[in-house]
Every structure is written in structure tokens, then in C-alpha cells.
Amino acid sequence: MDHAAALEQLFGLKGQTLSVNLSKEELFHAAIENDKGRIRPDGPDDDQKAYPTKLGVNGPLVYYTDPTCTGRPVKDTFAVARPSIVDKVWWKKDFQQFDPDKFEALLERVVAHLNEKKGTLYVKDLMCGWDASYAAPYRFVGEYATHALFAHNMFPKEVPGADDSDDRRWTMLNVPSFHCDPDRDGTKSARAVIMDFEKRVGLVVGRADYCGVVKKTMFTVMNFMLPDRGDLPMHCSANVGKRGDCAILFGLSGTGKTTLSADPERRLIGDDEHAWTDSGVSNFEDGCYAKLIDLNKEAEPVIAAALSMPGTVIENVPPLPGKTMEECDPQELDLTDSSITENTRFSYPLSCNPNVMPDGKGPQPETIVLLTADAFGVLPPISILEGREVMYHFISGFTSKLAGTEVGITEPQAAFSSCFGAPFMSQKPSVYAKLLAEKMEQQNARCILLNTGWSGGAYGTGKRISIKYTRALLDAALAGELDPGKVEFEEHPIFGLKMPKSCPNVPSEILNPRNTWEDKDAYDAQAEKLREMFRQNFADNGFAELGIEPVM
């Protein structure tokens, strides 16, 4: 069935000009010419949204989102609450129920809007996942060529041996020009991101044109589908060492997930979304979506080089003062400029990285790393976790926000995100925690809690643990040098964590964090305060009722 017939059968779309599977160069030119919308708070809805740099088609496309959507619109993200799935989904404030009848009526109105408009829709046929056993066909259909180019960067184009039949295909219909009426449509605002797990449809409407929606919607879908197969979807980075040893690194923003996985001695599988199956670890994606704000080009040479490569997409970075974007070389752009948003972004293919695993796959993992950046200064730099401790810390998903990073935050604040990616976890968190524990047991994988945060005091008093020591701790763990029987351990009296007493190339006195504080009583009080935050989060989320054992 051709694309026009398939889209008419699925949605009732007819009369549009379909631009199907254009090349990156064609999408680049189409985006500059045709992508129109609001890019300034008081601006019109027909501003140009995509621009070339000085490099033209031989460089990146620079794209500006609606100013109200410089990140994922979590309060406007839903799933259709059909009876077949309503008891399985983990409903929460950033993933709410949408009435099935309201959804059908809304979809009908969106299609009527497009049929009346008779404009151009960009169609891109892709796959989500590099493992043929689960890879899902993904068809992007949308009004913006930029989004089709972003999808081209971020997803595999074909996966040998995968079933790409229509009865498995997910279709995203992305229509920024349709604005919802909350009273009529059942939305919270004039925009919405809605997934229909039963009909395999993702609907994006209104001012929800942040590129990350095109990627994270499919991640949420995979998080719903894969556990039923016994596969574990993960919000993590992953790499492989020279021995063929695979490591998975879970972590929230600012914990070092991308930095630590970019190791010249190890080959990258991916930096964000993966599955752990019976055949090993595989990337969902074929690209990276990196933060650009304050990018250190010396520390991140791959991203720095990719900024000038053709077909990549720079999001929400302003031109240089007094210049148009067409006059700017991408290497000259001010990556500290947060005047549009702190969340400036960059999409580039994995192939920009010279040190990647072929076909986005790796073997069974030997080491699981749970990353945290403790700004309270009390967690050990490294702890060895076992069994129920793994499930507890995985389901807690702890890191901390720093004083000064948000208005009103004057001291560190705890941030908990189950499975290190709660907004995208569409089934209940215990499903993923139990799968992780089962797979670790099957593979006899080790697990470490690696703290990249503060030592000698909280943020503002102590110092951040040196990246040199963090890498040495990680290297030792990956090499098995901290396994039971290889070193002596002591138990933390408040957290119950098992801390090694020594590690190659790391001063032994920092391994117990209490040693690094001058005021030991102040340390104990701060540690007890953080422990209570863990306990409160555990109770507030009802994790005990989900079968998770408390370990603190």
C-alpha cells in the first residue's frame, strides 16, 4: 500500500502533498523554505523557524521552537485510557489519562483541519531499536521538515531481519498548526502530546514543536511494549570495553551519564535509550540529542566537531549579536547564550562519533552503574549494591538540584525520578526494577552506586569529587577490582551502603565521606536528613505496596 492510501486508511487524510522519505539535503532546504510558526513570545504564527548557517547545506540546520515549548510539555502529555491498558499504565502528573471518546473526536478534527488546509506533510519511515527481535517500525508524518530531519538523525533507517509490517507500525501525526480548545477537546491547554497504545498512534498538536517530543514519544512507547516481552527498556548510556565487557550507566541530568560513557578506551553503544534483551544491550536510536549550554569543546570534541557537519540540527541557539544566522559559522556560536532557553540542544547521527559499536548493539552487560550527584555531600563516592539494594536505589532514582540553579533554591534539594526516567516509564516502576534484578542475576552482573557529587561538605562548602577520581573508581569497578573478595569493605552506619576501603589511584581517606568533613556531627546530621528524604520518597510513592523492600 502506498503512503497516501495508508494514511487515508489510518486517519482519513486526503488532498495533502506528501513529501516521502526525502534526503537530508532536501529536508534541509524544505525546512528553511516552508517551516513557519511562532519563534518569539509576541511574534506571529508565520515566522521562519529554520535557518542555515554560513556553511549552508554543508552545515547544520538551526531551528527555533515556539517560545512556550523549549522542552517537553510534560503537563500536556497523555495516553488514551482504553480499557485494555488502563490498569497497566503508571498514571502520574506528567503522564495523564485521556478519554478515548474525546481522543477520537479530537483526531477527527485534526484530520479535517489538515484536509481543509491541503498543505504539505513530510513523511519519514524509520525503525525504533537496533535489535531485530523487538525493533518497531516508526512512521513520522508532520508539517515541519525540521522534525522529519531530526527523526532521520535520531532513528535507524532499516534494521536487518526486523518485521516492518503495517500491523506493527507506530505512526506519529505532528500538527503544530492545529490548536486545541480545552473545553471542547479535553486537553489541559491548546497543545497536547497523546499516545494511543492500542491503535499505535502518537498525536502531537499545537505549540508542542520541541524536537525532543519526536524522540521521547517513541521512548515512552517502547517502555510500555518491551516489558511484556521480558525485555528491559532503559534510560541510560552504554559502552563496551576492549575485553568485550559491556557497561550500562543510569543517571539523571547533570550526573555524568554522557561524559562518563564517552571514554576513549571504550566503544559507545549510545547515550540515552537502550533495551536489555536475551541477546544483550541495544540502542533504540541512531543519533544523539545533546545539551549545548556551556559546552566545553575540549572535553566534548565529538559534539564540537559535529556542530559543523551537514544535516545536524541545532535547536534554540541565538545568532551572534548584530549578525544573521546565515552570517554565523557554527563554531563561533555562543553556546553560553541562554537568552532563549537553558535547554539548547543539538541532534547529530551516532556516526559522527568515530568510536561506536557497529549497528548499535553490544553484549550482555557485566556492570550496572547507578549515577548520582549528591550535593548534600554525604553519599560515598562509590558503593557496591546487591539484590534488593539495587532495586531500591534504581526505583528511587536520586540526584540533587543545586542552590542557585533555580529561583528560590538556596540549599541543595533532593530530586527523585524512578528508574532514572520517571516521565517516560509508562508501566509501573516496579516492573522495570524487577526486570533489572532478574537480568542482573541471570548474567551475574555487578552494580555500583557512583556519586559524582560533593565531598567534604555540601555544595557551597565542600568540593565536587574530582572527575579524575570518579573515572578511577569507575575503571576499577569495570575491571572487577572492587568485587567482593578483592578489597575490604565497611558498611555506612546511616545508609547501610557497602564502601570499599581502598581503590587504585584514589586516596583511601575519601572513600568514607565522613572522613572528609571537619565537623563529624554536622556530617551525621546531614546524612540522616538525606536518609529521611529517601524514606519519605519511598513512602509517598507507595513502593512497598509494589513489592520493593526498603533498605534504609
pLDDT score for 410: 56
**Strands of 189-342, DSSP E:** 192-196, 201-205, 232-240, 246-250, 267-270, 273-277, 280-283, 287-291, 313-315
Q: Are residues 425 and 467 in the same domain?
A: yes
With respect to residue 359, please indicate whether it lies within any of the assigned structural domains: no
pLDDT score for 402: 65
Q: In which band, very low, low, confident or very high, does the pLDDT at 47 lie, cut at 50, 70 and 90?
A: very high
Q: What is the pLDDT of residues 478-495, one digit of tens each?
A: 999 999 999 999 999 999
pLDDT score for 416: 96
Q: Are residues 179 and 261 in the same domain?
A: no
Q: In which band, very low, low, confident or very high, does the pLDDT at 132 lie, cut at 50, 70 and 90?
A: very high
Is the pLDDT at 403 greater than 60, yes or no?
no
Strand, helix or coil for residue 318:
coil
Is the pLDDT at 407 greater than 80, yes or no?
no
Residue with cell 560515598: 380
> Which whole number is the average pLDDT over 310-326?
97
Long-range contacts of 164-170 (CB under 8 A, 24+ apart): 164/127, 164/137, 165/137, 166/1, 166/6, 166/137, 168/136, 168/137, 168/200, 169/136, 169/137, 169/138, 169/139, 169/200, 170/128, 170/136, 170/137, 170/138, 170/139, 170/200, 170/201, 170/202, 170/218, 170/221
With respect to residue 350, please indicate whether it lies within any of the assigned structural domains: no
C-alpha cell at 309: 557537519
With respect to residue 340, please indicate whether it lies within any of the assigned structural domains: no
Q: Are residues 206 and 260 in the same domain?
A: no
Q: In which band, very low, low, confident or very high, does the pLDDT at 404 lie, cut at 50, 70 and 90?
A: very low
> Cβ neighbours of residue 252 under 8 Å, at least 6 residues apart?
371, 397, 399, 415, 417, 420, 421
Identify which of 179-193, 255-269, 290-304, 393-407 has the greatest average pLDDT.
Answer: 179-193
3-state secondary structure 496-534: CCEEECCECCECHHHCCHHHHCCCHHHHHHHHHHHHHHH
Element housing 368 (H / E): strand 365-372
> Which whole number is the average pLDDT over 255-277?
91
Positive or negative, the CA dihedral 452, 458, 549, 476 is: positive
Is the pLDDT at 383 greater than 50, yes or no?
yes
C-alpha cell at 464: 565536587
With respect to residue 469, please indicate whether it lies within any of the assigned structural domains: yes
CA within 13 Å, CB half, 478: 26
Q: Which domain holds residue 160?
A: 3-35+73-229
> Which whole number is the average pLDDT over 355-368?
95
First-to-last C-alpha distance (Å) of the chain: 57
pLDDT score for 488: 96
Give the closest residue to 362 by CA, choosing from 290, 421, 275, 445. 275
Least confident of 58-72, 182-196, 406-420: 406-420
In single-letter form, the type of residue at position 315 comes to: E
Look up the CATH number of the domain holding residue 492.
3.90.228.20
Q: In which band, very low, low, confident or very high, does the pLDDT at 370 lie, cut at 50, 70 and 90?
A: very high
pTM above 0.85, yes or no: yes
Q: Are residues 159 and 272 in the same domain?
A: no
Q: Using the 3D structure, point to which of 195, 213, 229 is the last residue of a domain.
A: 229
Question: Hey, which residues does 273 pair with through a beta bridge?
Answer: 235
Per the CB < 8 A criterion, the answer to whether 148 and 122 are in contact is yes
CA within 13 Å, CB half, 172: 37
Is the pLDDT at 59 greater than 50, yes or no?
yes
Q: In which band, very low, low, confident or very high, does the pLDDT at 405 lie, cut at 50, 70 and 90?
A: very low
Residue with cell 561506536: 356
Question: What is the distance between the alpha carbons of residues 234 and 419, in angstroms, rounded to a whole number?
Answer: 8
Look up the CATH number of the domain holding residue 147.
3.40.449.10
Q: In which band, very low, low, confident or very high, does the pLDDT at 253 lie, cut at 50, 70 and 90?
A: confident
Q: Using the 3D structure, point to which of 229, 258, 291 is the last residue of a domain.
A: 229
Q: In which band, very low, low, confident or very high, does the pLDDT at 401 lie, cut at 50, 70 and 90?
A: confident
C-alpha cell at 421: 526516567
Average per-residue pLDDT for the chain = 95
With respect to residue 389, please indicate whether it lies within any of the assigned structural domains: yes
Give the largest CA-CA distance in the chain.
Answer: 73
> Which whole number is the average pLDDT over 201-222?
97
Question: What is the distance between the alpha carbons of residues 130 and 159, in angstroms, rounded to a whole number?
Answer: 6
Question: What is the distance between the alpha carbons of residues 21 and 26, in angstroms, rounded to a whole number?
Answer: 10
Q: Are residues 245 and 212 in the same domain?
A: no
Q: Are residues 173 and 244 in the same domain?
A: no
With respect to residue 47, please indicate whether it lies within any of the assigned structural domains: no
Give the closest residue to 137 by CA, choosing from 229, 200, 223, 211. 200
Domain count across the chain? 2
Residue with cell 581502598: 502
With respect to residue 347, please indicate whether it lies within any of the assigned structural domains: no
With respect to residue 252, please indicate whether it lies within any of the assigned structural domains: yes
Buried/exposed 213-236: b ≥16 CB within 10 Å, e otherwise: bbbbbbbbbbbbbbbeeebbbbbb
pLDDT score for 254: 80
> Which whole number is the average pLDDT over 33-45?
96
Q: Are residues 446 and 535 in the same domain?
A: yes
> Which whole number is the average pLDDT over 102-124?
98
In the chain, % of residues over pLDDT 70: 98
Residue with cell 483526531: 107
Q: Are residues 422 and 540 in the same domain?
A: yes
Q: Are residues 142 and 267 in the same domain?
A: no
Q: Are residues 180 and 212 in the same domain?
A: yes
Q: Are residues 407 and 533 in the same domain?
A: yes
> Which whole number is the average pLDDT over 322-335?
98
Q: Using the 3D structure, point to which of 229, 248, 263 is the last residue of a domain.
A: 229
Question: What is the distance between the alpha carbons of residues 211 and 213, in angstroms, rounded to a whole number?
Answer: 5
Give the residue numbers marked as catalytic: 72, 216, 235, 253, 257-258, 272, 345
Is the pLDDT at 14 greater than 90, yes or no?
yes
> Which whole number is the average pLDDT over 99-109?
98
Q: What is the pLDDT of residues 494-547, one digit of tens each?
A: 999 999 999 999 999 999 999 999 999 999 999 999 999 999 999 999 999 988
Between 58 and 264, the more confident residue is 58
Q: In which band, very low, low, confident or very high, does the pLDDT at 211 lie, cut at 50, 70 and 90?
A: very high
Q: Are residues 146 and 268 in the same domain?
A: no
